């Protein structure tokens, strides 16, 4: 089948559907909690429309409710979202050929979910020529869904009592686990996951979610060095066998 | 709370980290070892977010217990993911397990 911008776009939308299922409850609970957290209606809508970063919005909302000053919340947002610099570095090779009018919106719409589906699609051997349309399709459906769910959450938060007690935030954990499991195929990946989880728990008390970033970097380093060691062991074995 | 400054600041830092590598894409060359290290990024970052969300659901203390529906839901999601490599199934099974446990345990 020939790929056209249109077929790629819709394939991106379709492949993102499972992640939408997890994003729906998460977006709704953000909208629901926004009022009791202390955001105005417009503030809540602007969080989703302008910042568009699920877990960071959630953490920032928690800080607003405890009365943190805005520069501290901005700094925490920066730390929590630093992972996107790693995502966009990973995708760099794939967008290098695109003009800025593509790169700017694709960067704005970069999320965990779109990264997860796009990086998998770019790894497929099919030609790259229209793959940015796939990325765009995934990004736009995520964005559209996030705005809609925020509004639904704001509305239902005021109508349905106790909605914030339902534990809808678990949807984020389920989604992220769904993204992670396919990667856990070899020892370095599993070690990276275990180290990142363990350190993140141990350093949970650090201010401004710094523990999250340290744990993530330690996980990456563990995977990287373990893979290197396993590779050099294999080389030695091959050398001895010859 | 000045919401305008808050949203503006959050937008700036978030867009910056998303755009910086893309913006420099023309001149930036990624060394091969860094490229290999980057493959561990999604797993490490997402697990660093998930682990406290699941094990410290109230934000205060670690709850490594069968009374913690977040933990049971996460466990079910992992099992479903390993059993069938299907993203939708993993998410749905995880959420279903979470809500069932929550109803049965009747807390959190």
CB A200 within 8 A of CB B46: no
Find the residue in A nearest to B2 (Cα): A70
Two structure tokens written together for B54: 């699941």
Helix axes A70-81, A83-95, angle to 10 degrees: 50
Same domain, A21 and A55: yes
Of the partner residues A60, A181, A222, the one whose CB lies closest to the CB of residue B81 = A181
H or E stretch at A16: helix A5-37
Pick among B1, B2, B49, B85 to test the A interface (most A CBs inside 10 A): B49
Cβ within 8 Å, pair A52-B14: yes
In angstroms, what CA-CA distances link A219 with A101, A192, B37, B46, B48? Answer: 34, 4, 10, 11, 9
- Give domain status of residue A177, yes or no: no
Cα of B66 to nearest chain A Cα, Å: 16
Same domain, A100 and A135: yes
- Give domain status of residue B73, yes or no: yes
**A101-133 tens-digit pLDDT:** 999 999 999 999 999 999 999 999 988 889 999
Same domain, B26 and B46: no
pTM (two decimals):
0.86
ipTM: 0.91
Same domain, A235 and A193: yes
Find the residue in B nearest to A190 (Cα): B43
Same domain, A144 and A75: yes
**B49-86 tens-digit pLDDT:** 899 999 998 878 888 888 899 999 999 999 999 999 88
Find the residue in B nearest to A176 (Cα): B46
H-helix segments, B24-108: 32-38, 41-55, 69-83, 87-105
If one counts the domains in chain B, the total is 2
Cβ within 8 Å, pair B45-A216: yes
Q: Which residue segment(s) compose the domain that B80 sits in?
A: 42-105
Helix axes B41-55, A187-202, angle to 10 degrees: 40
CB A133 within 8 A of CB A11: no
Task: Please state, in angstroms and rounded to a whole number, the distance separating the CA atoms of residues A74 and A77.
Answer: 5
- Give domain status of residue A200, yes or no: yes
Higher pLDDT, B41 or A201: A201
pLDDT band at A148 (very low <50, low <70, confident <90, very high): very high
């Amino acid at each position: 089948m020939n790929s056209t911008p249109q077929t790629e776009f819709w394939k991106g939308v379709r492949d993102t559907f499972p992640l939408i299922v997890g994003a729906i409850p998460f977006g709704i609970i953000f909208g629901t909690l926004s009022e009791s957290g202390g955001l105005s209606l417009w503030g809540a809508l602007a969080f989703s429309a302008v910042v568009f970063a699920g877990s960071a919005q959630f953490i920032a909302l928690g800080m607003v409710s405890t009365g943190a000053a805005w520069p501290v919340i901005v700094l925490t947002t920066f730390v929590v979202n630093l992972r996107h610099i790693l995502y966009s570095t990973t995708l760099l090779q794939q967008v290098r050929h695109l003009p800025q009018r593509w790169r700017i919106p694709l960067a704005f719409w970069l999320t965990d979910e779109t990264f997860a589906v796009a990086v998998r699609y770019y790894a497929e051997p099919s030609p790259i020529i229209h793959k940015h349309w796939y990325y765009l399709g995934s990004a736009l459906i995520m964005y559209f869904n996030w705005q809609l769910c925020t509004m639904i959450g704001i509305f239902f938060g005021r109508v349905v009592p106790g909605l914030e007690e339902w534990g809808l935030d678990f949807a984020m954990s389920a989604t992220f686990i769904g993204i992670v499991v396919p990667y856990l195929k070899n020892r370095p990946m599993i070690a990276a996951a275990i180290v990142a989880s363990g350190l993140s728990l141990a350093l949970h008390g650090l201010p401004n979610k710094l523990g999250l970033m340290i744990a993530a970097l330690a996980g990456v380093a563990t995977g990287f060095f373990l893979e290197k060691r396993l590779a050099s062991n294999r080389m030695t074995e091959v050398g001895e066998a010859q | 709370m000045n919401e305008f400054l808050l949203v503006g600041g959050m937008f700036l830092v978030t867009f910056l980290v998303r755009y910086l590598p893309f913006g420099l894409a023309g001149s930036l060359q990624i060394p091969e070892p860094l490229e290999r290290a980057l493959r561990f990024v999604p797993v490490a970052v997402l697990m660093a977010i998930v682990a406290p969300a699941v094990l410290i659901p109230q934000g205060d203390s670690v709850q490594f217990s069968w009374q913690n529906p977040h933990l049971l839901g996460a466990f079910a999601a992992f099992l479903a993911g390993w059993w069938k490599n299907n993203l939708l199934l993993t998410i749905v099974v995880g959420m279903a397990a979470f809500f069932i446990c929550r109803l049965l345990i009747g807390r959190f």
